[in-house]
């Protein structure tokens, strides 16, 4: 359908250009994409083998114990009952396939997102260049990403993983950049004043202080990966997404709700566990800490510093840390 207009606006063949570009990729770089597909497929299969090796009840108990380490015994009991519910619906194998896909996509996304976010936080030009790319990746409808990845990787679990990485990456980059930018500038200046290299400042001050925000980004990456993993069932990915796709094609209401409830239980478990990792943790635990100076240390009159100006709290904090050993 052609829109009516008083002006003759020429058509820009964006779709044709993209089609030609992907045709060129598949023709000249087919071997590269085959190698990537084999590697990703092998890693996902390895995760699936590990998750399916133990007895389902034993693995559910292990997951519950992991939850107890982060959220306490009450959450562990609820998580164990929820995982038993998945087993009782005969959705455990599909849930573990989905979990394997989510783990692989999340690990790759985090490995890319955190260094990219650090670069964007430290280099204004990188932040300016990445912002429109992140906007495109985050606002493009999820189903659209399935088209190019199927073109490059064919049908199966690999295009599902790649599409999931693309869709889940932006929150990790944005929140890593935000966390590092929000670190108190006085603390960074004080670290530099005491001779810290940029690498030491990043690892010892900025990343620990930005950890809660970074972990919030990791949490969002996991949640988006799980949602996209279900959509990936449309391109042949196994797991709960495949179950949902089968339920849609056969109008199997029961199967659709069983798979949907399994997704909900997995999402709640992963959300609570990952959110608690950064909750209540401040960088002060791993970075510079305020310590009381030794009694033998001489007192310095703050009024004599910088022509009568008082010493900043950040400098005092690091100075006390140095005096305290």
Specify the pLDDT at position 278. 63
Sign (positive or negative) of CA dihedral 212, 216, 219, 225: negative
Specify the pLDDT at position 292. 42
Structural domains of the chain sorted by starting position, each given as residue range(s) with its CATH number in brackets: 35-293+310-323 (1.10.3720.10)
pTM of the model: 0.77
> Helix-strand-coil percent breakdown of the chain, rounded to 5?
80, 0, 20
Sign (positive or negative) of CA dihedral 148, 260, 107, 157: negative
Only one residue has tokens 């996991």, namely 222
Strands of the chain (E only): list them.
none
Q: Which structure tokens are listed for 283?
A: 């960088």
Specify the pLDDT at position 119. 92
Residues in the chain predicted with pLDDT less than 50, given as ranges, are 280-325
Q: Evaluate whether 255 touches 247 at the Cβ level (below 8 Å).
A: yes
């Amino acid at each position: 359908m052609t829109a009516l207009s008083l002006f003759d606006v020429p058509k820009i063949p964006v779709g044709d250009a993209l089609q030609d570009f992907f045709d060129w990729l598949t023709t000249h770089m087919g071997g590269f994409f085959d190698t990537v597909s084999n590697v990703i497929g092998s890693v996902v299969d390895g995760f699936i083998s590990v998750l399916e090796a133990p007895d389902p009840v034993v693995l559910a108990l292990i997951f519950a114990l992991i939850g107890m380490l982060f959220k306490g015994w009450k959450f562990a009991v609820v998580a164990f009952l929820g995982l038993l519910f998945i087993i009782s619906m005969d959705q455990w194998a599909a849930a573990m396939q989905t979990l394997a896909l989510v783990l692989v996509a999340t690990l790759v996304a985090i490995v890319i997102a955190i260094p990219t976010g650090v670069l964007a936080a430290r280099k204004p030009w990188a932040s300016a260049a990445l912002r429109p790319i992140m906007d495109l990746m985050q606002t493009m409808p999820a189903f659209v990403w399935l088209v190019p990845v199927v073109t490059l990787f064919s049908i199966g679990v690999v295009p599902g993983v790649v599409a999931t990485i693309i869709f889940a990456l932006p929150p990790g980059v944005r929140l890593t950049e935000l966390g590092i930018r929000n670190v108190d500038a006085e603390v960074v200046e004080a670290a530099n004043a005491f001779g810290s290299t940029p690498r030491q400042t990043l690892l010892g001050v900025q990343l620990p202080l930005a950890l809660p925000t970074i972990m919030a980004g990791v949490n969002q990456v996991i949640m988006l990966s799980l949602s996209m993993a279900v959509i990936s069932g449309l391109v042949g990915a196994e797991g709960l997404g495949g179950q949902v796709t089968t339920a849609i094609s056969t109008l199997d209401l029961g199967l659709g709700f069983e798979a949907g409830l399994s997704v909900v239980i997995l999402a709640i478990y992963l959300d609570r566990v990952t959110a608690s990792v950064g909750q209540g943790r401040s960088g002060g635990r791993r970075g510079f800490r305020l310590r009381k100076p030794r009694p033998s240390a001489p007192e310095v009159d703050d009024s004599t510093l910088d022509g009568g100006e008082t010493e900043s709290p950040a400098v005092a904090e690091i100075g006390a840390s140095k005096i305290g050993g």
